[in-house]
Structure 1
């Protein structure tokens, strides 16, 4: 997946396409042209969306899938208002949002998990090529209790590493971010995070950034910085990522394989084709990276445009899932993918 510069370019391209479309409609078409569908939401899945729509356009020439990466909260809002045909969200809708989405659909809104996004803890310490952090230590850093890199808590986890006696520059998302909620949910379960996990950052201090691309850019140009971003952004920018201790006591490097391993056997909580998934960061599985998110495509079970249904089937196909690892994502575990395909088969 591309780094911050390419991701920003993709966002500008989407904005230009939206402007070219005039008044924003969830589906539009003109005589002699294929229909256009519009979605919005998660920035985490932008790289996957870009690859999927390029691949789908080769399968269905002229198909136009426009996606505005404006954050999970905004994507859900747009969908509920009927401005878009689908939303991308790194968290499931809450009860109130689900009721509103069901009403918009005049039936049921479905959560369809489509991509596993490992969340990288990125840092900028030129002399430190490897760093190990536990959820407890991460909680101290992101809550503002640990303020220098040579703090004893960090030193204990990195014996023999010459940590600098410099201040830690913490960056966090300012917009409603599913990445923030999934990170803090893990820290709450494993590290004693003192705040309720939320799409909006709760801890005091730190520096605000808007979106994944700005997070990547801010950490990359700030010595002593730490932040969190989807793996594809981190790898595309060449940023170093910390090994994170899982519930089995192992410090695990982030990779598509270690992220997918953490979701193997995850419980599906939704019913009737609505596939919300319980992600358990405390699973004691060797080689499992504990900080992951699932991005859902939120759609209506009835009345969704044919172009959208075809696009979703492509996403869930072997072709759509096969190259995700090359983009910094992880494919869905086979048992979950089978449920997604079964749910798609019921959409009309």
Structure 2
């Protein structure tokens, strides 16, 4: 039986992958990297996250303290000597500091710690696959483009945030310093919500759409397209890729692609339908960031108590991504037999339902930790 090491299992994507494994009773030995003071507390952290995915207790009880590897990619030296790593056959590396804020741990975890893990696992004789989860945005895509699946990066590319810069850098370093690693790189596009659980597991990024429509103005146009996938589709794709015959070093997008990406106008109509109200439609205005800054004093009237400075920072960062109008080719994944992804608008009502009662500042906290 294979032994699968999952990092980031207390997060959104790692949790969705474990949800799939537990619900499908997949025959695999698990080793779950978790930050905690002891294995019992580590196990409880995993279970606490899995409850957000509505995992039944009998499924959760299949997890034991023996499945827990205590550690943190911020301090990899504390767990890399664990002998159980020598029995690992597959790695699903979901762990990362995914904050769009200026978190000082971004480089330490996403680059230094991840590289140390890759170097350690490259020494494991029986390792068959090291599946690293990057981000499609790590290539700093050109605006208004369909981005091909390529390991090449534009030199001196300007990254909008340190997070995408770190993800680009670690891909390059693993290729250069771990040539024997059975590396496969998955680059998800924008992961928002879950087709069944909506935003219950995480409200990450969903608030951006709500914010723009509440403002009735943002930096993108209603005709701009956005490449969004649900976390459960992404998790299904990752588990398929773990056992695929993809060549070492290959890059695969997990994305909506040209066909299933959606316009902001589609999102407006989908959210309006879920809320049983009229869409913003013609009342919406595409504006510059400077115009949004001038509205600073109005933000509390629109969103309630909030940190105006953080709200404006969020608008600047996410507005810059929204105006790119990029889609990411998913040809490789579909050619491997993966089903087509759902459109964001297919499950947006569930996201709306599960964020009712939460303010925009409450929802966005997960992305600025």
Which TM-score band applies after superposition, normalised by the shorter structure? Answer: under 0.3
Question: Relative to total residues, which structure has the larger strand share, 1 or 2?
Answer: 1
User: Given the two structures, how large is their TM-score scaled by the length of structure 2?
Assistant: 0.26
| Bigger relative contact order (CA 8 A; separation at least 6) | 1
